Amino acid sequence: MRKVVILGGGYGGLKILLQLLENDLPDDVHITVMDRNPYHSMKTEFYTIAAGTSADKDVRAAFPTDDRVTYVYGEITEIDTENELIHIRESSEPVEYDYLVIGLGCEDNYHGVEGAEEFTESVQTFAKVRHTGLSVGNLGAYGKVTIVGAGLSGIEVASEIRESRADLNIRLLDRGGSVLKAFDPKIQAHVADWFTKNDVEVLHHANVEYVEKDGVCNNGVCYVNDVTIWTAGVRPCYLARALPFEKDKQEKLVVNDFYQVPEATNIYVVGDCASSEHSPSGQLAGQQGEQIADVLLAIFRGEEPRKPKEIKLKGTLGSLGKSDGFGNMMQQPVTGLLPRLAKSGVLWLNKRH
């Protein structure tokens, strides 16, 4: 039997699994999926868990049941590429692989800010975002929440919390001169206006110096605060960063045209762990996953894999609570209810795999 091991059943890993199962996988190939959670986590919706506006079960989906797949649930602690073994905390029995896919996503990047790791809440794993939701939910009337970082996830977290709790004092720290610096000015203006109308304080040109248990110090001013949520940057999962292979400036693993690690071509990298000209996203991970599955299927059938086509992304959609949003649709910046409905539609499709 040829053993394929997929590390991480997120957007990239799950797409590869589904494509392999749906496309005449040769009989002598067996797939093992390893994840800490016994379900697919819809990370793009984690902001709703932070705000307490979704139930846990609304942002996860069951993995497919299939005789050709074994699931190993546990915390991966080491990828031993020399002996081709994967170790998990819960078992002394490592999992062997002939072909490996690394799709372990990303974690917070604290950029060396003192106290940030210790005293901020996170939206990067299911367990952490549940904790964030609990901290926000348990706040008394007029509690103070600071969100550090005004990219897509920071905006979604801040607006969803506002919609969930009208009483809270919410402050958003933005490193740039306007929120969502990667987006069209029309979208930036719409989002800024939403925050003004909904009483979310936005501080631009932020430079957080340190975080304490009950405060955030920014540009020499310390704000007393109850809950601080970190959305100010990510880096690939530490297990990927620890591998003895070349990485790019963002610490992502460098891959060739076939998503293989050049130093070990039986190892593939997908999503937030893989070096790419595109910004990390669930959409990108899914498209890469489809292409990796095509490469693997060709190799399993003894064929020469075709070079994957250029990735074409459809644009990003963001939410401002449940009835407003923004995004690029058909290469146009769009704001209001339409992009919000489109985002809900994408989630619905994802849930149906």
Ligand X SMILES: Cc1cc2nc3c(=O)[nH]c(=O)nc-3n(C[C@H](O)[C@H](O)[C@H](O)COP(=O)(O)OP(=O)(O)OC[C@H]3O[C@@H](n4cnc5c(N)ncnc54)[C@H](O)[C@@H]3O)c2cc1C
Which class for 306: exposed (0-12), middle (13-18), buried (19 or more C-beta within 10 A)?
Answer: exposed
Is 104 or 267 the residue whose CB approaches ligand X more closely? 104
Is 132 or 225 the residue whose CB approaches ligand X more closely? 132
Residue pair 231/154 in contact by the 8 Å Cβ criterion: yes
Is 24 or 117 the residue whose CB approaches ligand X more closely? 117
Q: How many residues does the chain have?
A: 353
Is 76 or 116 the residue whose CB approaches ligand X more closely? 76
Residue 182 C-beta-side C-alpha neighbours within 13 Å:
14
Angle at alpha carbon of residue 308, lines to 302 and 309, rounded to 5°: 145
Is 224 or 341 the residue whose CB approaches ligand X more closely? 341
Is 77 or 219 the residue whose CB approaches ligand X more closely? 77
| Shortest separation between residue 294's beta carbon and ligand X, angstroms | 17
Distances (CA, A) of 94 to 67, 70, 87, 111: 21, 14, 5, 33
Give the residue at shortest CB distance from ligand X: 10
Is 176 or 233 the residue whose CB approaches ligand X more closely? 233
Binding site for ligand X (CB under 6 A): 8-13, 35-37, 41, 43-44, 46-47, 75-76, 103-105, 123-124, 152-153, 156, 237, 239, 271-272, 280-283, 285, 316-317
* SS3 call for 37: coil
Cβ–Cβ contacts within 10 Å for residue 289, how many?
Answer: 28
Residue pair 288/303 in contact by the 8 Å Cβ criterion: no
**What is the DSSP secondary structure assignment for residue 306, as one 8-state letter?**
P
Angle at alpha carbon of residue 208, lines to 250 and 228, rounded to 5°: 95
The most distant pair of C-alpha atoms in the chain lies apart, rounded to whole Å, by: 64
| Shortest separation between residue 88's beta carbon and ligand X, angstroms | 7
| Shortest separation between residue 275's beta carbon and ligand X, angstroms | 12
Angle at alpha carbon of residue 225, lines to 164 and 144, rounded to 5°: 25
